[in-house]
Amino acid sequence: MTVGRALSGAPRSRVKLLSLARHVSAIIAAGGRGLRFGGGPPKQLATLGGRTILQRSVDAFVTSDAVADIVVALPALLAADPPAYLRSRTKPVLIVGGGERRQDSVRQAFEQIGQRAEVVVIHDAARPLVTDALIRRTIDAAFETGAAIAALRASDTVKLADAAGRIAETLPRDRIYLAQTPQAFRVDVLRHALTSRADATDEAALAEQAGHPVQLVDGDPRNLKITTPDDLAIAERWLGGTTAGVPYAGIRIGNGYDLHRLVEGRPLVLGGVTIPFDKGLLGHSDADVICHAVTDAILGAAGAGDIGRHFPDTDAAWKDANSLDLLRRAAAIVAAGGYTVINVDVVVVAQRPRLAPHADAIRASVAGALGCDAFQVSVKGKTNEGVDSVGAGEAIAAHAVALLARAV
């Protein structure tokens, strides 16, 4: 696959602000199969602290104000059906199929980089603990010098072996560095480097071969590359301990509730899905009680107020608004606060219509807005046994509970 597929569009105003001074695009290299990690699903889908390795790496660049847009190179099968957390992000995310070699994947991703890009920063998805400070440090150096990589100075004495496994030479360790990612390049430098068809383990090697100087910047010892299950266990310990894969210290729970009257002449929208019915919900927006309840639940868990604070019904901007879009915006607020959604449970109380035939579509819709997988969202329908306005079929209510964890 060489043609990119856009999965999301960011609010234009935010991306514009990021781009006023300089435009940086990111490539996440995740096209490998992770054979040294063992059998089973691709390594990048292994869970680390409640999120997959891939999601953690992508999240680091989504939340970085130094980066305007992202291209993710995935194995072909995964690119054809990418995870939900790559959709509905707060900035553009493009998916491409990877190639046989890492440099082939990067080359195909680079072909999808927009014309506005001045610097491209490349990162291995297998390094999910990358920090924003390291991303910025590498980008800054690339703007200044043309090409830069994060690297660690060797702390051990380094020996060069011969073919028989004997020491051939002891190398001066003060000049030995261990390469990491991110690696950042001005667009013209990377374009020239990628014309090479020689084998290389990273883009810095290609840039060297093409005659470009590459600046070293201080790497991060915690920017671990996960190659084996032991590496994953180390990363889990660095996250401070987990319970069922979720960082225990960061757990937050929020509740949400909403109710709207049913009236004629309006579509019935629940969880972003239009449901065939003779009435719809009355409200300033589309009155989607599921999205409103979930929005309050995640905002409450993050200590970020409620739906009325962010999207007041006194503001004409939200008149007839799509509540699924409001939920996406709320999810971005939560992510900016350092939280990730672990799961959401929703109970819809309605005498009619029956929710069961639409539950799976609603789960997928809500999950897409939250940037998580459908299995992390539960939607259940109940009646009110003929009691009060809901039981009389005059209104529909929704209760939601959200579990968040701090993204450490």
Give the pLDDT of residue 9: 39
Q: Say if residue 32's pLDDT is above 90.
A: no
What residues are paired with 406 via a beta bridge?
A: 339
- Answer with the residue of higher pLDDT: 43 or 408: 43
Q: Say if residue 68's pLDDT is above 90.
A: yes
Give the pLDDT of residue 313: 82
Instruction: Report how far residue 398's alpha carbon sits from residue 289's, in angstroms, rounded to the nearest whole number.
Output: 6
Instruction: Quote the mean pLDDT of the chain.
Output: 86
Q: What is the pLDDT of residues 109-123, one digit of tens each?
A: 999 999 999 999 999
Q: Say if residue 234's pLDDT is above 70.
A: yes
Give the pLDDT of residue 38: 59
Q: Whole-structure pTM over 0.95, yes or no?
A: no
Give the pLDDT of residue 324: 92
Give the pLDDT of residue 155: 85
Give the pLDDT of residue 16: 36
Mean pLDDT for the stretch of residues 354-371: 90
Sorting pLDDT into bands at 50, 70 and 90, what band is 405?
confident
Tokens 């490349």 locate to: 122
Give the pLDDT of residue 14: 37
Q: Say if residue 33's pLDDT is above 80.
A: no
Query: What are the tokens at 114?
Result: 């927009």
- For helices 359-370 and 323-336, give the axis angle rounded to 10 degrees: 40
Give the pLDDT of residue 254: 95
Q: What is the pLDDT of residues 127-141, one digit of tens each?
A: 999 999 999 999 999
Q: Say if residue 1's pLDDT is above 50.
A: no
Give the pLDDT of residue 93: 93
CATH of domain 251-406: 3.30.1330.50
Give the pLDDT of residue 100: 84
Give the pLDDT of residue 164: 93
Sign of CA dihedral 77, 81, 86, 92: positive
Mean pLDDT for the stretch of residues 295-323: 89
**Which range among 151-165, 225-239, 340-354, 355-369 shows the weakest confidence by mean pLDDT?**
225-239
Cis-peptide, bond into residue 11, ω within 30° of zero: no
* Highest mean predicted confidence (pLDDT) among 149-158, 181-190, 297-306: 181-190
Give the pLDDT of residue 34: 58
Q: What is the pLDDT of residues 140-157, one digit of tens each?
A: 999 999 999 999 998 889
Q: Say if residue 3's pLDDT is above 50.
A: no
CATH 3.30.1330.50 residue window(s) in the chain: 251-406
Give the pLDDT of residue 101: 86
Q: Say if residue 388's pLDDT is above 70.
A: yes
Query: What are the tokens at 28?
Result: 């996440």
Mean pLDDT for the stretch of residues 388-398: 91
At residue 295, φ and ψ (nearest 5 deg) are -60, -45
Task: Kindly give the residue spans of alpha helices, DSSP state H, lying in 129-228.
Answer: 132-145, 187-193, 203-209
CATH 3.90.550.10 residue window(s) in the chain: 5-245
Give the pLDDT of residue 6: 44
At residue 305, φ and ψ (nearest 5 deg) are 85, -150
Instruction: Report how far residue 300's alpha carbon sits from residue 309's, in angstroms, rounded to the nearest whole number.
Output: 11
Mean pLDDT for the stretch of residues 74-78: 89
Multiple choice CATH, 5-245, 3.40.50.300, 3.30.70.1140, 3.20.20.140, 3.90.550.10: 3.90.550.10
Give the pLDDT of residue 99: 84
Q: Work out the percent of the chain whose per-residue pLDDT is above 70.
A: 89
How many other CB atoms are there within 10 angstroms of residue 89's CB atom?
24
Give the pLDDT of residue 335: 85
Q: What is the pLDDT of residues 261-294, one digit of tens each?
A: 999 999 999 999 999 999 999 988 899 999 999 9
